[in-house]
Amino acid sequence: MRINLFKRFKLKAIASALLMLSMLLMPVKGVLALDAPLQSLDINGVSIYTTVGGYNAGHGISGVTFDDVSKVLTLTNATLERIHASGDLDILLVGTNTVTATTDSSALLAMGGDITITGDSADLTISALDSASPAISIGDGGRLTIGDVGTVITVTVTQGFLVNCDDIYIVDGNTFNTPGGGDPPPPPATPTIISIGDTVVIDETADPQVLSNSGTGWTIEQNPYSGYQLDIDASLSPSIPHITFTGNGSMGIYPYNGDVTIQSNASSPYYESISIEGTILFGMGPEVGDLYLQGGILAGESIIGGDGDVFIGSELSKSWIGAIASDLVLSFGSMTIHAESVGLSGVPTMPDPINLEVVVQQNAVLTVVSDDNGATNTASILVLGGGKVDITALNVGSFTPQAGYWAWTEFTGTDMENLDPFVVDCVEGTDLLNKYILTTGEGSFVLESTAKALFQLGFNYDDSDDSRVVNGTVNVIAANGFKFVSGGYYDFSIEEGTEVTIELVPNYGYQYVSGGINGVPTSPEPGRASYTFIMPANHVHISAIFEQNPDIIDLETSKISAASITMPVGEINGNAELLIDEASEFDTTGFVAAAGDFEVGSYLNLSLNELIYKGSTTDAWRTGITDLNSDSSVTLSLGDDLKGHAEYKVIRHHNGTITELDATYDPATGTLSFDTDGFSIYALAYNDPENPNTYDGVLGSVALGVSSLMGLIGIGFVTRKKK
């Protein structure tokens, strides 16, 4: 079965958090301002701008332009699927525009930034995939601005909800319409108060507010992604009192320079070490330490594990409770619980308790040992990617055991997001097809995923040489895993040990010159710009540097001395290879009829290839192209046998139809130019009416006069035809 919608949204949020936590839950110095410079911009999955590559003027999306200096995106009667930015997003509207999401990602996203929409006598209509999907998302604490002084624009959200849009500024004279139905936006934030032991360290209700603080070996301050972040230097403070967090926000805990113990709250009926009304996140990164909690965790929302291990109680000194939350998600780091009463439980809110949902993945292990109940008020326990759950208790509990995995997936383009694993309810035994082992007994439950862990594959994270893609695109074609799209960045989580197929595709006019996977040069495989590799047990960065390269002209006829072609935007990648040779074995009847009084001087075969080098000019992928969506411009320098006539016709036989194309002849250069969208057999016909007034004709008359004069005085010369 497919994973249900409720859990799918939770997994999406989890995936988003996991992909960012490794960069975010590190010791932070200072508060990040929301006035965030634009880092990247993509539309419909096409990269429009990055700080590394600049503006991609060849994006080919109708109605979209971008100013590389002001960083303003202009929409002119544009019909789009999504706009995703990392940093501030400034949009200028011209005419009537629409953004209609085709996935459950935000239709309009400014990751970590503000959105400002301006223009005049213009409008924008925004629609999410459905009422339960985000329509507009901005950075936490950001501002959504509609209009400017003296202008009139209308922005309408027809479906979906708004994320972090608590601060909406509508300039007088402008209009912002929100949907009348659908799911409401998240509830407004309630003030946060954080205490370590009996000492209040953060107080948003105070005047002035206390938004950061520090003590011996620890600091706590706001983080735009995790709410607040507590960094603990274990070398200075290996043990701290219990933590209490009121308000519906979230907090990350990052121990470093060793392991940290958090004491229990002896005055609480649950004797917990951490009590939080919102979400608790544990740090990720190579330097994160382990946490030892003398008491349990009482969370009103989610518990999200990190890279370090978390120990709740111990075999010799058990906690009263283990983990109480609406969701418990472990990835990489494990959790071990020794409890006297309840190991796992949902939130005991009245009158309707919230059942717990557990997800254990990425080789994490959840171990629960309880003298009483292993899991109460628990809806499901799901293992993915090598995750394992081991419960030993007097009463294991009643819940739905589930296992999931990501099958081989064809990623059909860079705008598709696929976060859904294939999930089944588990039965006792070993299931090779669905990749799990379930063993149960009196007082015991062990569920293990036999799928392997997933690791991230991505590019353009920063300016480092092993993750840059310049003047081209990386497409992940197929793999075992899922794709996450955010703010112009494409991250893929791929199962260790499985094959990955990618394309390294240059922009038009560029070719691949260097790059690799984690610094190891790539080797080409059969197929257009195709490369394959086996996903290692670590994160992968892809680099690909493309440099400018001219189009290729291959002439196999003396009728044409030189040629050039200009391709329309967005039609091909790499270079155009235009081949011109003399046509043979075809019916000339239609050409002769179309030529009329003109004489056919040559029949030519024009063929076009898309040319992408395999890392060098000696070998390439060639893809034949017979039809284009838009016209290309072709210029032919006529050979001696063809040039010099007064009038020309270009006649094309393509897909069974004879067509005369508009053509221009330049007698000064002897070139014939025309636009075409089809490549097949062409006829070049000419005509010389009486008294032609052409440059070549004048030269011919002069030459004839000189020749006659030389004949009269007895001087001769020999002319050889060029072969």
If you average pLDDT over residues 570-597, what whole number do you get? 94
Is residue 360 a contact partner of residue 388, using CB atoms and an 8 Å limit?
yes
Mean pLDDT, the chain, rounded, equals 85
pLDDT score recorded for residue 65: 95
Comparing 537 with 528, the larger pLDDT belongs to 537
The reply to whether omega before 179 is within 30° of 0 (cis) is no
pLDDT score recorded for residue 496: 92
- In which band, very low, low, confident or very high, does the pLDDT at 695 lie, cut at 50, 70 and 90? very low
Describe the strand order of the beta sheet including 153-159 as a list of residue ranges: 79-80, 96-100, 122-127, 153-159, 175-177
Does residue 6 have a pLDDT over 80? no
d(CA 455, CA 306): 14
Cα 51 from chain centre: 15
Q: What's the DSSP call for residue 5?
A: H
Q: Is 191 exposed, middle or buried (0-12, 13-18, 19+ CB in 10 A)?
A: middle
d(CA 194, CA 138): 26
If you average pLDDT over residues 607-611, what whole number do you get? 95
Least confidently predicted of 220-234, 611-625, 706-720:
706-720
- In which band, very low, low, confident or very high, does the pLDDT at 715 lie, cut at 50, 70 and 90? very low
Comparing 507 with 352, the larger pLDDT belongs to 507
Residues 6+ apart with CB under 8 A from 539: 455, 456, 457, 458
Does residue 579 have a pLDDT over 90? yes
pLDDT score recorded for residue 468: 72
Comparing 425 with 178, the larger pLDDT belongs to 425
Condensed to tens digits (0 to 9), the pLDDT of residues 237-287 reads 999 999 999 998 899 999 999 999 999 999 999 999 999 999 999 988 888
Condensed to tens digits (0 to 9), the pLDDT of residues 148-173 reads 988 999 999 999 888 888 888 899 89
- In which band, very low, low, confident or very high, does the pLDDT at 486 lie, cut at 50, 70 and 90? low
Paired tokens of 63: 């109605």
Does residue 188 have a pLDDT over 50? yes
d(CA 503, CA 544): 10
pTM score = 0.65
Dihedral sign computed on CA atoms, order 11, 16, 21, 24:
negative
Residue extents of the structural domains in the chain: 32-177, 193-405, 455-548, 552-694
pLDDT score recorded for residue 611: 92
Does residue 59 have a pLDDT over 50? yes
Bridge partner residues of 292 (DSSP): 261, 311
pLDDT score recorded for residue 221: 92
Does residue 463 have a pLDDT over 50? no
Dihedral sign computed on CA atoms, order 396, 398, 403, 404:
negative
pLDDT score recorded for residue 717: 28
pLDDT score recorded for residue 489: 57
Is residue 601 a contact partner of residue 684, using CB atoms and an 8 Å limit?
yes
- Among 39-53, 111-125, 525-539, which range has the highest average pLDDT? 111-125
pLDDT score recorded for residue 357: 96
Condensed to tens digits (0 to 9), the pLDDT of residues 204-235 reads 999 999 999 999 999 999 876 658 999 999 99
**Which of 485, 475, 478, 476 is CA-nearest to residue 573?**
475
- Residue-level length of the chain: 723
